[in-house]
Structure 1
Amino acid sequence: MSIIHERKAVNRSGSRLARAGERQDTASRLLASAARKSYDPLVEIDWEAPIPAGLYGMTPEWSSLYGTDLWESMTEDQRITLTTHEAASVAGTGIWFEMILMQMLVRDIYSHDPSEPHVQFALTEIADECRHSTMFARSAQRFGVPSYRPKRWIRESARAFKATATGSLAYGGTLFAEEILDMMQRDFMKDERVQPITRTVSKIHVLEEARHIKFAREETVRRVDGISRFTRARIRLLLGVTAYFIVTSLVNDKVYEAAGLDPKRARAAAKANKHYHDMLREGSAKTVEFLSEVGLVGGPSKLLLRRAHII
Structure 2
Amino acid sequence: MSQTLDHVEDLPDIPVDVTPEQYADILEGLSQASVDRHFDAFIDVPWSDPDFQVHHDDPRWVLPADVDPLGAHPWYQSQSLARQIEIGQWRQANILKVGLQFENILIRGIMQYVFTLPNGSPEYRYLTHEATEECHHTQMFQQTVNRIGVDVAGMPWLMRKVAGILPLAGSAVPFAFFIGVLAGEEPIDHTQKGILRSGKDLPPVLSRIMEIHVAEEARHISFAHHYIRRNASRLGRVEKFVISLLFPVIMRVLCDVIMVPSKAFRKEFGIPRKVMKDLYWRAPESRERLQELFGDVRMLADQSELRKNRMARWMWKLCRIDGRPSRYRSEPPVAFSQG
Q: Which residue of 1 aligns with 2:273?
A: 264
Q: Which residue of 1 aligns with 2:326?
A: none
Larger radius of gyration: 1
Matched letter for residue 186 of structure 1: K
**Paired residues of 1:64 and 1:276 also in contact (CA < 8 A):** yes
Q: Which residue of 1 aligns with 2:191?
A: 184
Task: Report 1 or 2 for greater relative contact order, CA contacts < 8 Å, sequence distance ≥ 6.
Answer: 1
Gaps of 5+ in 1: 1-17
Equivalents in 2 of 1:46, 1:57: separation in Å? 23
Matched letter for residue 205 of structure 2: I
1:132 aligns with 2:142: no
**Aligned pair in 2 of structure 1 residues 98, 307: CA closer, same or farther (>3 Å)?**
farther
Q: Which residue of 1 aligns with 2:11?
A: none
Matched pairs, number = 293
Q: Which residue of 1 aligns with 2:23?
A: 23
What is the RMSD computed on CA atoms of the aligned residues? 2.6
Matched letter for residue 115 of structure 2: Y
Q: How does 1:1-311 map to 2 (within 5 A)?
A: 19-48=19-48, 49-51=52-54, 53-56=58-61, 59-113=64-118, 115-157=120-162, 159-165=164-170, 166-190=173-197, 191-249=199-257, 250=259, 251-258=261-268, 260-262=269-271, 264-271=273-280, 272-297=282-307, 305-306=316-317, 309-311=320-322
Q: Could you report, residue by residue, the CA deviation over 1:217-253 in whole angstroms, capped at 9, with x for unpaired residues? A: 1111122113122101222333333222211112223
**Paired residues of 1:66 and 1:275 also in contact (CA < 8 A):** no
**Paired residues of 2:248 and 2:321 also in contact (CA < 8 A):** no
Q: Which residue of 1 aligns with 2:325?
A: none
Equivalents in 2 of 1:304, 1:156: separation in Å? 27
**Aligned pair in 2 of structure 1 residues 192, 64: CA closer, same or farther (>3 Å)?**
closer
What is the TM-score of this pair, normalised by structure 1? Answer: 0.83
User: How far apart are 1:208 and its partner, in Å?
Assistant: 0.5
SS in 1 for 2:54: coil
**Aligned pair in 2 of structure 1 residues 269, 73: CA closer, same or farther (>3 Å)?**
farther
Structure 1 residue ranges, 4+ long, deviating more than 6 angstroms after superposition: none
Tell me the percent identity: 18
Equivalents in 2 of 1:30, 1:305: separation in Å? 31
Matched letter for residue 183 of structure 1: H
Matched letter for residue 29 of structure 1: G
**Aligned pair in 2 of structure 1 residues 103, 284: CA closer, same or farther (>3 Å)?**
same
What is the TM-score of this pair, normalised by structure 2? Answer: 0.77
